[in-house]
Amino acid sequence: MKERAPDYKKNSKIRAALSRKNLKELWIKTGFIIGALAIWEVIARAGRVSSTLFPPVSTIFIALWDNIKTGEILEHLSYSLYLIFIGIGIGIVLTFILTAFYMVYMPFANIMDVVISIMHPLPGIALLPIIMLMVGLGAEAIIIVIVQSVIWPVMVNSIAGFRSIPVTQIELGRNIGMSEFRLVWSVMIPNAFPHIFAGLKIAWSRSWRALIGAEMIFGATGLVGGLGWYIYKKRYFLEIPDVYAGLLVIVIIGVIVEELVMKQVEKRTIVKWGVTV
């Protein structure tokens, strides 16, 4: 029997169509942002609102550029990113361990169900005063808050993902001779990954908000302080364009993580594997 050659022409057309769709989405999003900024500039320049409280976009960008040139905002940003990367890393490792025990040991699962029902709805920022009394006013307190913001959404979604795997797929893997490790790696994780990834996206947004909020409420930690402390400090001295510049950096980081990092991970995993929630 003659083997059928791959239809490279058809595949190239599909890739071209997807590229056009992505380009169209990019133009729509870019147009919306430019339009919103233009409206902001017009309203601020019209003089109907206080320029102190609602500065023009051009003034905000000038303030942002001045802070970039002096390196002040970059120093605060780097410290915030340092804290959140450490917190998210620790949170993911702890979540992996807790979820593994949850799936294989029923008494532990029963206990964790109670713990999750208590801790999952609890904002991490609400625990910060107690945590600071225990570990002090250093970066460790904020890292613990970030870890708390990461563990529960990732764990809840991971458990839901593993529970949603059809039993027939697991039994099929065992019947064809897969080892337990390969069964977990090749069958269970890919099938549960849409839920796990959704939990990671929620964890990122919750931890980013918790970090900025903690820095704004409780001030600087360490030698520099992060973006939240930068915004609080500028607000105290009524340097409002700099406050908006700090908010703009927070938004830019969020957009970069969501549009570049998260979507690329999704394309290389969920879309590539052909799995959905």
Query: Is residue 147 pLDDT above 60, yes or no?
Result: yes
pLDDT tens digits for range 56-72: 999 999 999 999 999 99
In the structure encoding, which two tokens stand for residue 69, read together? 């040139």
Quote the CA–CA distance of 88 and 166 in Å, as a whole number: 30
**Cβ-proximal residues to 194 (8 Å cutoff; 6+ apart), any chain:** 161, 270, 275, 276, 277
Query: Is residue 274 pLDDT above 50, yes or no?
Result: yes
Residue 39, domain extent:
8-49
57 and 181 both lie in a single domain = yes
Q: By the 8 A CB rule, do 60 and 41 touch?
A: no
45 and 149 both lie in a single domain = no
pLDDT tens digits for range 168-202: 887 887 788 777 777 877 888 888 889 999 999 99
Of residues 246, 185, 241, 211, the one with CA closest to residue 54: 241
Percent of the chain with pLDDT over 70: 89
Instruction: Specify if 3 maps to a domain.
Output: no
Q: Would you say the C-alpha torsion 227, 232, 234, 235 has a positive or negative sign?
A: positive
Instruction: Specify if 2 maps to a domain.
Output: no
Instruction: Specify if 120 maps to a domain.
Output: yes
pLDDT tens digits for range 211-224: 998 888 776 565 67
Predicted TM-score of the model (pTM): 0.82
pLDDT reported for residue 17: 58
230 and 268 both lie in a single domain = yes
Q: Which residue has the higher pLDDT, 129 or 159?
A: 159
CATH of the domain at 182: 1.10.3720.10
Q: Is 264 exposed, middle or buried (0-12, 13-18, 19+ CB in 10 A)?
A: exposed
Instruction: Specify if 1 maps to a domain.
Output: no
pLDDT reported for residue 2: 46
pLDDT reported for residue 14: 52
The SS3 call for residue 123 is coil
221 and 113 both lie in a single domain = yes
Per the document, the length of the chain is 277
